[in-house]
Chain A
Amino acid sequence: MAELEVRTATGTERARPLSPHLQIYKPMLTMVMSIVHRLTGAALYFGMLLLAWWLIAAASGPNAYAGFEWFMGSIIGQLVLFAYTWALLHHMLGGVRHLIWDTVHGFEPAEREMLTLATLIGSITLTLILWVVGYLVMGGPR
């Protein structure tokens, strides 16, 4: 097990145990969603480049904007945009769950499972609804 060297008050070195790392535990929904919250956060961090690209392209002119539209219309662009939509909604709902937990509510076993499942189902549902609406706004099947 990993150990951390610390200096005690008397100046002598003493090995201190660290808490076991992730792989020790059996995966549970709350734990997986906690990891997913961090992963979606990190993905959204780099996803801000897309938002910046969109705004800069719009500010630059029709040619730059056409380039952005071309990428977003491509299969890769659509996949990235779909993943971005889900990551954003999932991180937002996961954040709401954490805010509820910050108030020291929802910690009973059934409650925390329900909250965690709700963020997953909610983010998938909202993403699909948003894309269906977007598809209809774009003019539906063409």
Chain B
Amino acid sequence: MREPMHMRTSMRRVRGLGAAHSGTGHFWHQRVTSVAGIPLTIGLLLIITALLGRNHAAVVQILGSPIVAIVLLLFIINTAYHMWIGMQEIILDYVHEEKWKLLSLMANTFFVFAVSLASVYAILKLSFGV
């Protein structure tokens, strides 16, 4: 049987697609989040080092202070997007079967949202009390 005719050119199939169907946007976003990640990672390490050996009450007080909370929130949001793109890239490289690809991409999204929103919630609770 003859293949159905289509008028699409190669350019139409290529434009804006790729394995993730989103073109090179993620490539650039990964660079932006990696640049932002450098000072934020240094900030995270400084905060953790400063909190070593302190008791719960002191840790709660420091984590809830504005500058510390803001740095942590920025780190988590920035990292969430960076790791979501990164894991998607790994999945697209190794998982070729359509069903497993979709399921693992979905799991990636669920994991990133759950972990980052749980962290954000904890920081907000530490900041605003109750």
Partners in one complex: yes
Q: Which residues of A come within 8 Å of B, CB atoms?
A: 9, 11, 38, 41-42, 44-45, 48-49, 51-52, 55-56, 58-59, 61-62, 65-66, 85, 88, 92, 95-96, 98-99, 102, 130, 133-134, 137-139
What is the minimal beta-carbon distance from A51 to any residue of chain B, in angstroms?
Answer: 6
Q: Which residues of B come within 8 Å of A, CB atoms?
A: 2-3, 10, 31, 34-35, 37-38, 41, 45, 49-50, 52-53, 56-57, 59-60, 63, 72, 76, 79-80, 83, 86-87, 90, 111, 115-116, 118-119, 121-123, 125-126
Q: Are A55 and B49 in contact (CB under 8 A)?
A: no
Can you spell out 28 A-B residue pairs with CB atoms less than 8 angstroms apart?
Answer: A41-B83, A41-B86, A41-B90, A45-B83, A45-B86, A45-B111, A48-B76, A49-B115, A51-B119, A52-B115, A52-B116, A52-B119, A55-B63, A55-B119, A55-B126, A56-B121, A56-B122, A58-B56, A59-B121, A59-B122, A62-B56, A92-B38, A95-B34, A96-B38, A99-B34, A133-B49, A137-B50, A138-B53
